Structure 1
Amino acid sequence: MLLNMPQYTQSQVLVIGDVMLDRYWHGGTSRISPEAPVPVVNVEQVEDRPGGAGNVALNIAALGAGAALVGIVGQDEAGEALKTRLNAANIHTDFQIVTDKPTITKLRVVSRHQQLLRMDFETPYAAADSSEFIAKAEKLVPHMGAVILSDYAKGSLHHVQALIAVANRHQVPVLVDPKGADFSRYQGATLLTPNLHEFETVVGRCDTEQALVDKGLALLDQLQLQALLITRGEHGMTLLRRGMPEMHLPARAREVYDVTGAGDTVISVLAASLAAGEALPQAVGLANLAAGIVVGKLGTATISAPELRRAVKQEQGSERGVLTEEQLLMAIEEARAAGERIVFTNGCFDIIHAGHVGYLEDTRALGDRLIVAINSDESVKRLKGPGRPINPVDRRMAVLAGLEAVDWVTYYDDDTPERLLKLIKPDVLVKGGDYTEDQVVGHEIVKAYGGSVQVLSFFENVSTTAIVKKIQAQEKE
């Protein structure tokens, strides 16, 4: 899948849900308490971070997108600390304050990057505690590109159906990070992002990939959702949509350090990307990439725009270049899952010249991905005679891979690309020169499965053979 960095500064996202404060006490341990068999932590640093829906909003702001947050806080020090940190990140907070309950706080004691203890300070909220949410949503939703309902089962989303109705009425996509065993309360949402455990809690155990897909599609119909994104830890993510093939994305994390808040990152990047105008498959790809970065950080973390931009650039590099036949088939499968159109051309490409460059640019314009398959050295020798190729296959592929128009380069030992065409089944087969469609090698293969064949003109007065002859003539003078 081809990923690009969205214009997040142009997007606005509203987050509604369970707000909490993640508080960390950091310190060293060097002895066991004489009072009980527990380590003694000498607290040296206190750190406060927005958690829950607050972390979702913080992730959105870190990308450079506009974020607004609706939630519940107590009239206490923790609530003030939470508002201070969120406002410092340019997040618009519109909290309903309750006087009889504390701000939800999770206190973690950490030593040498390991959590030793967690203490929770919370009292579940009642429906009256979020009585102002619908009015707040009515005011904010019309100015948003996406809405996130961040449910941590703390009671802030008693009015979830009314909030979904507000978003739907204004035709703003509403994404839900669900909790609990009853997903019917989220009926009519645009997209749900359960993890595998949450998903199986609702639909039952999925022992096979097909079972997961079948039960997911059934849930889509039951809840009248547009899409379902199941996050699956080390197995990546699965996106299900009505009338579309399932889309599986592999996990991107190289080293998992702490999964705290990874789900927040996924739904944040997903919503911000949709609000910035990205299509859903690309938004999911970006969210998957971001999740792989954030699980390598300690605690409830965010991913910044520069971090994601670097990852996108690395991803672009990994998706282009010289591929083996096996790698190429895998890349094509992923591209097709994203709805991309595959274009194929072939040739010797011995000395790359202006004619080739112009031809490949025109060829690339016929689709989303361009494959250039070139003849091996032995194949060129059989076709062109002794003394050819001038450049060996690895150098020819390296030059082609460096052209902006070319996505993937591979080679074949046969004299024709027919075997490759049967494997790849490109949407468009392109050849340059003075041919008719029926004269293009492999045309019958491509047309048999519904593909198309295009013949493009090379630039005039430019050819490898002419260049070689000119050099040879000059050497004789």
Structure 2
Amino acid sequence: MIQLSQIRKKSILVIGDVMLDDYCMGDIKRISPEAPVPVFRKKTERSVLGGAANVAANLVAANQKVSMMSIIGNDDSGRRLLEYFKEKGINTDLVQILDRNTTVKTRFLASNNQQVLRLDVEDTSPIPENICKEMLNRLEGEIDSYHFILLSDYLKGLFTYDFTQGILKLCRKHNIPAIIDVKDTHVEKYYGAFLLKPNLKEIRDLTGMPARTDEEIIEAAQTLCKQCDCKFVLCTCGARGMVLVGENHSPFFIASEGKDVFDVSGAGDTTIAYLAAAMANGVNMNDAVSIANYAAGIQVGKVGTSSVYMQEVRDFLANEDNGTFHKILYPQDVEVFRHNNKNKKIVFTNGCFDILHVGHKRYLQLAATLGDILVIGVNSDDSVRRLKGPDRPVNLERDRAEMLCALSFIDYVIVFGEDTPYELIKKIQPDVIVKGGDYKLENVVGRDVVEARGGRVEIIPFVDGKSTTNIINKINKKLK
């Protein structure tokens, strides 16, 4: 289940090639009399952060605390970049000002936002060895203040082999995950990263493998994983979506979410920014990739390089699944949940809900009538194994939670890892605890908690013959 509410503010350092993306909007209505070329008449212009700077801007939009490490020129464009960083609250203490051109990409957009020309001003010469050492020394002094480090390589001279390997060695030494949006074809440069994010062209260049079919993409990603001794490779496949491959991790394919594609500029930046925000907060890898995929789907629906805000992702998920993603409640959110619902009657029940059946549906539907909000506690996979045996659960906790979220009369679902929900009940402080007909009132866990605040326990009869165990036994009998 997607865990957006789990994403809180973490300190993330972005290291990468920064640039300005300038946009000139206008129209073309005639051909030049001087040469057979169209005449572009500029009407308006705007500037936004590009490259690694756009990654940082998207992390800010994802509600993260962001610092930037990069090089810029001692020129007007460099000063503009610093102003934009300041406006967004991005820390620039680790930005080096050098005697070189700041990278600027100027795009000319005509009617219907059609890009007719791009003009680049840049300096791609590698950073000098003394600058490399100076930046690594500064990073070593600051590295423990970051939860996560993201490298965005645009091949503009910052990521020499020595600088890249110096960063990765520091990250491993301090046990800080480092993920990289790759561009270089020299695979040894990226050795030791936690995760690499190539696109199809890049993974082909890095591995020398075809990576055309799904099976070939997986094979190439697994090869890259081994070559670079990294935990994961996330390969973005354009309109086909993304695939995550990792050490002891089953390949995870996810289809592209872009419904209306206006401009793919910055989609990769948005992807890795939201991936980093999710990973820094401990979101499981498949969900982190899903969140990044949704954010990228929003990005390609915009014109030009721009930020995707966390609320946009929330709204997108709400529209995609009628809001059921918002039904997941996480332990760290319980206090806020209680405050927001302090004047409502909260009903609580719990169970494994391994195979959802009509007995569950009727029981929970009746429970929902006993108050204003129905909260379901779901035993985690480990908890179910301890209670039911090594062959259970049949369905994983995220699947069981998602099925419950799909029931309209359920308001919140929370997964707990203990064998009983007692600690969870103490946190939620429900007004009513509901249990099935096989329970006796004196044996209901949490009864003391609810009665101490004037609440009560309700025992609801089960539907005869309807249970997960009976279903499993029936299936096993037919299979014999």
* TM-score, L = length of structure 1: 0.72
Q: Is the 8 A contact 1:2 1:316 kept in 2?
A: no
Q: Does structure 2 conserve the Cα–Cα contact (< 8 Å) formed by 1:343 and 1:364?
A: no
Q: Please list the CA deviations of residues 257-310 of structure 1 after superposition, one character each: whole Å capped at 9, or x if unmatched.
A: 111111111111111122233222221111000000001111112101221221
Determine the structure 1 residue equivalent to 2:357.
346
How much does 1:21 deviate? 1.3
Q: In the TM superposition, what is the alpha-carbon distance from 1:446 to its structure 2 partner?
A: 6.0
Letter in 1 for 2:367: A
1:241, 1:102 → 2: CA distance?
A: 39
**Corresponding residue SS for 2:230:** coil
Residues 398 and 4 of structure 1: CA distance in aligned 2, closer, same or farther (over 3 Å): closer
SS in 2 for 1:259: coil
Cα distance 1:87–1:207, how it changes in 2: closer, same or farther (>3 A)? same
Does the aligned pair in 1 maintain the 2:13–2:68 contact within 8 Å? yes
Q: Does structure 2 conserve the Cα–Cα contact (< 8 Å) formed by 1:58 and 1:89?
A: yes
Per-residue CA deviation, residues 403-435 of structure 1 (Å, 9 max, x unaligned), is: 23689xxxxxxxxxxxxxxxxxxxxxxx95687
Give, in whole Å, the separation in 1 of the partners of 2:61 and 2:242.
23
Change (3 A) 1:136 1:272: farther
Contact 2:357 2:467 in 1 (8 A): no
Larger Rg: 1
Distance 1:435 1:67 in 2: 56
Partner Cα distance (2:41, 2:135) in 1: 42
Q: Structure 1 residue 404 and structure 2 residue 408: aligned?
A: no
How many angstroms does 1:137 deviate by?
1.8
* Percent of paired sites with the same residue: 31
Q: Quote the offset at 1:218 in angstroms.
A: 2.5
Q: How many pairs does the alignment contain?
A: 381
Please, which moves more after superposition, 201-210 or 70-79?
201-210
Q: In structure 1, how many angstroms separate the alpha carbons of the residues matched to 2:251 and 2:406?
A: 36
Which residue number in structure 2 is paired with residue 151 of structure 1? Answer: 153
- Answer yes or no: is the 8 Å Cα contact 1:344–1:372 preserved in 2: no
Structure 1: stretches of 5+ with no match in the other structure: 321-340, 374-396, 408-430, 450-477
**Contact residue 185 and residue 205 of structure 2 kept, 8 A:** yes
CA separation of 1:355 and 1:285: change in aligned 2, threshold 3 A = closer
Query: Whole-Å Cα distance in 1 between the matches of residues 170 and 476 of structure 2?
Result: 49
1:311 aligns with 2:316: yes
TM-score w.r.t. length of structure 2: 0.72
1: CA distance between counterparts of 2:370 and 2:190?
52
Write out per-residue CA displacement over residues 70-113 of structure 1, whole angstroms, 9 at most, x where no aligned residue: 111111111111111111110111321112x2111112222221
Q: Which residue, 158, 162, 177 being the options, matches 1:173?
A: 177
Partner of 2:69: 70
- Measured in 2, the distance between the counterparts of 1:345 and 1:356 equals 20
Q: Which residue of the partner structure matches residue 89 of structure 1?
A: 88
1:307-328 per-residue CA deviation (whole Å, 9 max, x = no partner) reads 12212333453768xxxxxxxx
Partners of 2:302 and 2:406 in 1: how far apart? 38
- Letter aligned with residue 85 of structure 2: L
Note if 1:200 corresponds to 2:207: no
Equivalent residue in structure 1 for 2:400, among 370, 378, 381: 370
Q: Deviations over 1:107-166 (max 9, x none)?
A: 222222121211111121323154432123223321112111110111101110000111
Cα distance in 1 for residues equivalent to 2:473 and 2:71 = 64
Partner of 2:440: none
Assess if the C-alpha contact under 8 Å between 1:345 and 1:372 holds in 2: no
Corresponding residue number in structure 2 for 1:2: 2
Shift of residue 252 of structure 1?
A: 0.4
Structure 1 residues 342 and 234, CA, compared in 2 at 3 Å: closer, same or farther? farther
SS at match of 2:115: strand
Partners of 2:405 and 2:226 in 1: CA distance: 48
Q: Secondary structure at the match of 2:40?
A: strand
Structure 2 unaligned segments of length 5 or more: list them: 326-351, 381-396, 415-460
Equivalent in the alignment of 2:252:
247
| CA RMSD, Structure 1 to Structure 2 (Å) | 3.3
| 2:98 corresponds to | 98
Q: From 237, 243, 261, give the equivalent of 1:232.
A: 237
| Structure 1 position 30, deviation (Å) | 2.6
d(CA) in 1 for partners of 2:153, 2:468: 59
Contact 2:74/2:101 (8 A) holds in 1: yes
Change (3 A) 1:372 1:37: closer
Distance (Å, rounded) in 1 between the aligned partners of 2:303 and 2:368: 53
